[in-house]
A and B are shown apart, each in its own frame.
Chain A
Amino acid sequence: MRQLSRRGFIKVAALSGGGLVLSTQLSGCGSEAVLPDAAAGALRPNAFLQLLPDNSIILQFHKAEMGQGTATGMATLVAEEIGVDPLSLKLEHAVNHSAYADPDSMMTGGSASMKANFTALRQAGAVLRELVLSAAVQKLKVDRDRLDIVDGAIYLDGKDSGVRPGELAAIAAGLPVPDQSKVKLRDAADFRYIGHDSTRVDALAKVTGQAQYSIDQGWDGVAVAAVQRCPHFGGSLASVDEAPAQQAPGVRQVIRLEDKIAVLADSYWQARTAVALLKPKWNKGAAGGLNSAQITAQQRALITAGEGKQVRDDGKLPGADANWIEAEYRAPFMAHAAMEPLCCVARVTAQGVDIWAGNQGPDILAVQVAGALGRSKSEVRVHNAWLGGAFGRRLSSDFAVEAALIAQAAGEPVKVQWSREDDMQHDNYRPAAMTRFRAAIKNKQVVAVDAGMASPSLIAAVIPEMGAGYAPWMPEGMLKWVGGMAGNSDTTSTEGIVSSDYQFDAFHVRYVAQKQAVPVGFWRSVGQSQNAFFMESFIDEMAHAVGADPVAFRLQHLAEDSPRRRVLNEVVKMSGWGSAPPGRFQGVAVVEAFSTKVAQVAEISIERGSIKVHKVFCAVDCGLAVNPDVVRMQMESGIIFGLSAALKNAITIEDGAVQQSNFHDYQVLRMHETPEITVQIVSGGELPTGVGEPGVPPIAPAVANAVFAATGQRLREMPLRLS
């Protein structure tokens, strides 16, 4: 069966007291000389690939697969260049190492993996191919030009020579490794896997229950911890009587940290049952009494007082001679609510620290854990796993730091298993946000747009964490760039509006970073997750204000060379824009996010007072579609994820704590509520852009605009509720 090896698990089982088996020495792979996860007898020309004598090829997968298809994409890139089926590769999760920070780090986010690794991973594959073929030249005594690797076989003059790459590993080990930057890549016209549909490399393991997630890490006998955390953000543990838990069956120990109490037991249910017996008293901290209405009111006050920074001031706003329209848009805090609640196994010994957890940033996590424990980064090994969803949540290190602190305090390894309630109430939330727009109309033309935006700054929130994680290897210029984005210049909070390519005589944006107590983090499509709703809804409002068709108005205000025109025109064709069936109504939105262009038309009706989405048409331009089926899949995924946000859920705050706890009060879209989705890829070009996030932003405004067409109600707050 093809699946990721349970290497981490095996190591723990095989070694007592820690330590890591390292058998291969490689130079020139970054500051650390030794690469982890070396297979015995492997030919390893670079950090990513190992060819074994039995002909198997191991790819060190250095990114996070949280559903978005990156594992399949990475496997496709290297397999194409080597000349093997991507499904034949054996994937292992790469342990954190500086060798994987090139080309772009081990972090997975911003829909950037395929774009950033497209050339480098192909080069890695081509290096292995050329090294093997150099050995074939020696063995078969023929010129290189007559040789190739096809379907995992050495081909001579276009025919299977009978020789397999694995047989050549020993010879190849004595040959010089080709220069990665000079190795010839396959011609795009010859691609057999890139640009073609194929089964995902993780599919078989995931339909047989064999795929290993965070929750499947650990070993027999490891302590399992359940935790009560202070429900009030920024609060702390005042007092607790530990006795009820101490006396409960299976309990090993009770560990207190500043703002939580953990019960370690022989099994999860024992730990969960025992921790629930505790009645801790909490200090509410500064956020006590805080609620969602106050946060919204503060945002409105900040915007209307003109606080913050002018982040866009194209052209001069007209005066009183123009006719102004105004609108206020709002979006709530959102939980990630990945299907897999957080879980982390931590082992802290004098020899080193091991963390087993599906995560989006092993480098960042290693630095954060090291900092919390007072250890050095090089002592922390982060063992990744498949992620049972993440949507940005597993980019935060909090859950790993917590597990490491509990393990250190307990003096034994621990598996910290979060409940759904823990996961929902102790998330780092998509920031609640507000944008107040004004538009100036003269002679039935919109001439100016003026936006005032307020939300907690993501970059300000994560800089202490990510900055520390990146600092050791991030180029200085980049660090300054990230630093410069903090606070009122945070483009992750303003993207989609500050960067909008709609053309008006004047386009002004002011942003104020709100300081408040609710922890915030990256949430699938980040600022665009709310800003596209704001911008694309207000564009619709402006169109109606001047009596224009929403598509015609967008085309009028998009430059001739706007990259969004192509997908907009395509979705108009696909959807039969303007000719919805009786009782059905259409709304449109078009967004550029993470360099990918997506247009969507939602076809809805109003059924018994609620919004029913029947069909969604989606046109996407993501450059080269490495695996078109994964692109379609991600558009479907983004639309359905975005519909949950558009129609269903919100996190609300009362007394500095989250009110929702599970899927009964934080509802998500289910199958019977899912529309028929049609995706058209209009891509082209030589390089890919990402698809994990860009499908999300357009759907909420497309639905809201359709609701306006159906009812005349302009819904300016997510989730959308008819009055």
Chain B
Amino acid sequence: MPDYKLRINDAEFDVNVEGRTPLLWVIREHAGMTGTKFGCGMGLCGACTVHLDGQPVRSCSMPVQAATGKSITTIEGVSADVNALHPVQQAWLEHNVPQCGYCQSGQIMSAVALLDSNPNPDDAEIDAAMAGNICRCGTYPRIRAAIHSAAEKIAVKEIG
């Protein structure tokens, strides 16, 4: 099996796997970061969303060989520690978003990517960006509100 060099949350990993192995399982089983979740294996639910060079991708259906040489960010890389949460995570807490919580890593990764590219999205833009992330607990209304809050936090921070 070939070796792949991966850069995950600014750390280098050498992994020895088949090239078609989905990035999700490499992150979870080889890099040992379990915040990224498995939901459907077909890119239908978004639970496995990570960033590849800042773009949200479904890691369950991305072969590891396509991720080499790129910068991978997972939920563990979104904030340095609990005392320095990302504005999106802070907004998630303020709006009491998570219920079972299983989809929330993916939801947060999609929301962070949205706000990176569109700092002030309206409801329709939020809906479009988040349409690929399923939540069976029905946290959608709170996610939408939390994204608006996070956008405000980021704007205030940048002005400040």
Interface positions, chain A 196-224, Cβ under 8 Å from B, are: 199-200, 202-213, 215-216, 224
- A505 in the interface (beta carbon within 8 A): no
Which one of B21, B36, B128, B140 lies within 8 Å of A209 (CB-CB)?
B36
What separation, in Å, do the CA atoms of A338 and B128 have in the docked complex?
23
- B5 in the interface (beta carbon within 8 A): no
Report whether A340 and B100 are in contact in the complex, using a CB–CB cutoff of 8 Å: yes
Interface membership of chain B positions 63-95, coded 1 if the CB is closer than 8 angstroms to chain A and 0 otherwise: 000000000001110110110010001001100
Interface membership of chain B positions 39-79, coded 1 if the CB is closer than 8 angstroms to chain A and 0 otherwise: 11110110100000000000000000000000000111011
What separation, in Å, do the CA atoms of A677 and B36 have in the docked complex?
29
Report whether B99 and A207 are in contact in the complex, using a CB–CB cutoff of 8 Å: no
Q: Which residues of A contact B135 (CB under 8 A)?
A: 339
- A345 CB, nearest partner CB in chain B, Å: 13
Which one of B29, B44, B141 lies within 8 Å of A636 (CB-CB)?
B141
Interface positions, chain B 103-132, Cβ under 8 Å from A, are: 103-105, 108, 126-128, 130-131
Contact status of A204 and B101, CB under 8 A, knowing A269-B25, A636-B142, A663-B40: no
- A670 in the interface (beta carbon within 8 A): yes
- B78 CB, nearest partner CB in chain A, Å: 8
Which one of A203, A636, A637, A662 lies within 8 Å of B42 (CB-CB)?
A662
Of all chain A residues, the one with the shortest Cβ separation from B98 is: A206
What separation, in Å, do the CA atoms of A663 and B149 have in the docked complex?
30
Report whether B96 and A672 are in contact in the complex, using a CB–CB cutoff of 8 Å: no
Q: Which residues of A contact B148 (CB under 8 A)?
A: none
Query: Which among A268, A273, A387 has the greatest number of chain B C-beta atoms within 10 A?
Result: A268
- B129 CB, nearest partner CB in chain A, Å: 9
Report whether B92 and A389 are in contact in the complex, using a CB–CB cutoff of 8 Å: no
Report whether B138 and A674 are in contact in the complex, using a CB–CB cutoff of 8 Å: yes
Report whether A204 and B137 are in contact in the complex, using a CB–CB cutoff of 8 Å: no
What separation, in Å, do the CA atoms of A273 and B21 have in the docked complex?
9
- A590 in the interface (beta carbon within 8 A): no
Report whether B100 and A677 are in contact in the complex, using a CB–CB cutoff of 8 Å: no
What separation, in Å, do the CA atoms of A696 and B143 have in the docked complex?
20
- A46 in the interface (beta carbon within 8 A): no
Q: Which residues of B contact A421 (CB under 8 A)?
A: 41
Report whether B102 and A388 are in contact in the complex, using a CB–CB cutoff of 8 Å: yes
What separation, in Å, do the CA atoms of A420 and B76 have in the docked complex?
24
Interface membership of chain A positions 630-645, coded 1 if the CB is closer than 8 angstroms to chain B and 0 otherwise: 1001001111110010
Report whether B100 and A389 are in contact in the complex, using a CB–CB cutoff of 8 Å: yes
Which one of B22, B96, B102, B131 lies within 8 Å of A633 (CB-CB)?
B96
Report whether A339 and B136 are in contact in the complex, using a CB–CB cutoff of 8 Å: yes
Query: Which among A209, A210, A390, A636 has the greatest number of chain B C-beta atoms within 10 A?
Result: A209
- A577 CB, nearest partner CB in chain B, Å: 22
Q: Which residues of B contact A211 (CB under 8 A)?
A: 101
Query: Which among B38, B97, B99 has the greatest number of chain A C-beta atoms within 10 A?
Result: B99
Interface positions, chain A 332-365, Cβ under 8 Å from B, are: 337-341
What separation, in Å, do the CA atoms of A676 and B141 have in the docked complex?
7
Q: Which residues of B contact A676 (CB under 8 A)?
A: 141
Report whether B104 and A215 are in contact in the complex, using a CB–CB cutoff of 8 Å: no
- B56 CB, nearest partner CB in chain A, Å: 15
Which one of B35, B38, B136 lies within 8 Å of A338 (CB-CB)?
B136
Q: Which residues of B contact A638 (CB under 8 A)?
A: 138
What separation, in Å, do the CA atoms of A200 and B95 have in the docked complex?
10
Report whether B37 and A388 are in contact in the complex, using a CB–CB cutoff of 8 Å: yes
Report whether A636 and B138 are in contact in the complex, using a CB–CB cutoff of 8 Å: yes
Interface positions, chain B 137-160, Cβ under 8 Å from A, are: 137-144
Q: Which residues of A contact B108 (CB under 8 A)?
A: 207
Report whether A672 and B138 are in contact in the complex, using a CB–CB cutoff of 8 Å: no
Interface membership of chain A positions 619-657, coded 1 if the CB is closer than 8 angstroms to chain B and 0 otherwise: 000000000011001001111110010000000000000
- B9 CB, nearest partner CB in chain A, Å: 11
- B107 CB, nearest partner CB in chain A, Å: 9
Contacting chain B: which of A66-74, A306-314, A455-463, A561-569?
Answer: A66-74
- A526 CB, nearest partner CB in chain B, Å: 17
Of all chain B residues, the one with the shortest Cβ separation from A391 is: B136
- A658 CB, nearest partner CB in chain B, Å: 16
Q: Which residues of A contact B40 (CB under 8 A)?
A: 420, 662-663
Which one of B75, B93, B99, B134 lies within 8 Å of A199 (CB-CB)?
B93
Contact status of A640 and B44, CB under 8 A, knowing A66-B100, A210-B35: no
What separation, in Å, do the CA atoms of A216 and B141 have in the docked complex?
28
Q: Which residues of B contact A636 (CB under 8 A)?
A: 138-139, 141-142
Report whether A339 and B134 are in contact in the complex, using a CB–CB cutoff of 8 Å: yes
Report whether B1 and A249 are in contact in the complex, using a CB–CB cutoff of 8 Å: yes
- A14 in the interface (beta carbon within 8 A): no
Q: Which residues of A contact B143 (CB under 8 A)?
A: 671
Which one of A67, A209, A340, A662 lies within 8 Å of B35 (CB-CB)?
A209
What separation, in Å, do the CA atoms of A635 and B33 have in the docked complex?
33
Report whether B89 and A207 are in contact in the complex, using a CB–CB cutoff of 8 Å: yes
- A117 in the interface (beta carbon within 8 A): no
Report whether A208 and B85 are in contact in the complex, using a CB–CB cutoff of 8 Å: yes
- B83 CB, nearest partner CB in chain A, Å: 10
- A419 in the interface (beta carbon within 8 A): yes
What separation, in Å, do the CA atoms of A639 and B140 have in the docked complex?
11
Which one of A1, A199, A206, A633 lies within 8 Å of B101 (CB-CB)?
A206
Q: Which residues of B contact A68 (CB under 8 A)?
A: 99
Interface residues of B (CB under 8 A from A): 1, 17-18, 21-22, 25, 29-30, 33-42, 44-45, 47, 74-76, 78-79, 81-82, 85, 89, 92-93, 96-105, 108, 126-128, 130-131, 133-144
Ordered by A's residue number, 9 sampled pairs between the chains whose C-beta atoms are within 8 Å are A67-B99, A208-B79, A209-B105, A224-B29, A269-B18, A337-B136, A339-B37, A663-B40, A672-B127
Interface residues of A (CB under 8 A from B): 1, 65-69, 199-200, 202-213, 215-216, 224, 249, 267-270, 273, 337-341, 386-391, 417, 419-421, 629-630, 633, 636-641, 644, 662-664, 668-672, 674, 676-677
Give me the 7 closest cross-chain CB pairs, A-B, nearest first: A209-B35, A640-B138, A388-B102, A206-B101, A67-B100, A67-B99, A209-B75
Q: A1-B82, A269-B21 are in contact. List 5 more A-B contacts (CB 8 A).
A: A208-B82, A209-B34, A209-B76, A339-B134, A670-B133
